[in-house]
Amino acid sequence: METKILKSNQIQEAADLIRDGKLVSFPTETVYGLGADATNATAVEKVYKAKGRPSDNPLIVHVADVETVEKYVDHLDEKTKKLMNSFWPGPLTIILKIKDGVLPKVVTGGLQTAAFRNPNQPVTTKMIEKAGVPIVGPSANTSGKPSPTTALHVYHDLNKKIDGILDDGQTKYGIESTVLDMSVDEPVILRPGAVTEKDIEKVIGKISNSNVHLSAADVPKAPGMKYRHYAPEAKVQIVKSNWSDVISWINQQNEMIGIMATDDVIEKYDWPKNTTIFSLGKSVTSASHFLFDGLRNFDDHKLANILVQSFSDEGMGAAYMNRLLKSAGNEYFS
Ligand code: TXA
Ligand code: MG
């Protein structure tokens, strides 16, 4: 099957495909997702197959409203309601205990919980409404690769493996949603994203951040965190601030080296001829927006080494560094 690119005036067609048990990639404010009817186990199985995703890794259930979530859970507690009021639609995924057997096992990985998200992208909200069912949506990349932030990235990874891609341009944040576990006594962030720990604490008070433990070898709580992730073909190394050392090293290489850095860094140095530069813009926000795009861009150029700027772990920096550390297998340039 050739994958069809659908534009924003073809939402009905996208919704019909989903209702027919087909796979359609959809845009969100974070990254592109790979959609299927969350109530159709056969359709959801095809999502794992298209991505090459390990089957013990549960999927996020995308909804167009809070009422849909209420159908699947016993009750929504006050804190969860406050979070939904404050951050939905938006880049916050909330894990909740669900009623027995209300969602297929392939969606939840057999857990007693499910992850819910109400994305802030009107074409996708309309598609979910028209389909009349919630939609699973892992990032629409081949498992292990950087998440897609354009329809072209999706096409590159999944052409002929899925039925359609609903194209609504480049995504806003460029990094996946914050995953917050509200199914436990003490709420915990399992994956940092654009909704930060501080943002959440302003609404529901103190929470813990398990991101710290996840870089160690202990058992991660979000099953997806244990797999190799966001890895381009090239070797990625993180650069703290020792750009002069990087330049000396590049000078000793015979091949092209990829650099991803903000404009102030790019302008400050005299780069050797064998450097290919990808700008991360001016701030950690733009760097997050461009991170996966840049890594994919260098794969197209077949470079073997990419060096990427680090940021401090605050605010959006937590999400950026979480993804970059995984891309680089925790390796810093030294
Ligand atoms: O921004 C996003 O969240 C994107 C867009 C498309 O919405 N989706 C996304 O999905 O990043 P995915 O499948 O790539 O990542 C979902 C993460 C995985 O780490 C998974 O293990 C975790 O959420 N997860 C899903 N359900 C869970 C559950 N019931 N308990 C714990 N972790 C869960
Ligand atoms: Mg993913």
pLDDT per residue over 159-195, tens digit each? 999 999 999 999 999 999 999 999 999 999 999 999 9
Q: How far apart are CA 67 and CA 140, in angstroms?
A: 26
Distance 252 CA to ligand 2 centre (A): 36
Please say whether the beta carbons of 88 and 203 come within 8 A. no
Distance 175 CA to ligand 2 centre (A): 10
Mutate to test the pocket of ligand 1, among 139, 158, 188 (most ligand atoms within 8 A of CB): 139
Q: What is the pTM of this model?
A: 0.94
Q: Specify the pLDDT at position 228.
A: 63
Q: Specify the pLDDT at position 237.
A: 97
Residues with pLDDT less than 50, the chain: 212-219
Indicate the CATH number of 235-328 among 3.40.50.1950, 3.10.580.10, 3.40.50.11030, 3.40.50.360.
3.40.50.11030
Domain ranges (residues) in the chain: 4-209, 235-328
What kind of architecture, by CATH, is found in domain 4-209? Alpha-Beta Complex (3.90)
- C-alpha 52 chain-centroid distance: 16
- C-alpha 327 chain-centroid distance: 13
Please say whether the beta carbons of 328 and 236 come within 8 A. yes
The two tokens of residue 214 are 């996840």
Residue 23 carries which side chain, given as an amino acid letter? L
Mutate to test the pocket of ligand 1, among 154, 179, 188, 214 (most ligand atoms within 8 A of CB): 179
Instruction: Tell me how crowded residue 264 is: count the other CB atoms within 10 A of its CB.
Output: 8
Q: Residue 52 contacts by C-beta under 8 Å, 6 or more apart in sequence?
A: 142, 143, 144
Enumerate the H helices of the chain as residue ranges.
11-19, 41-51, 66-72, 78-87, 105-108, 122-131, 151-158, 197-204, 211-214, 243-251, 263-268, 284-300, 316-327
Q: Specify the pLDDT at position 218.
A: 40
Nearest ligand by distance to the CA of 116: 1
Q: Specify the pLDDT at position 224.
A: 59
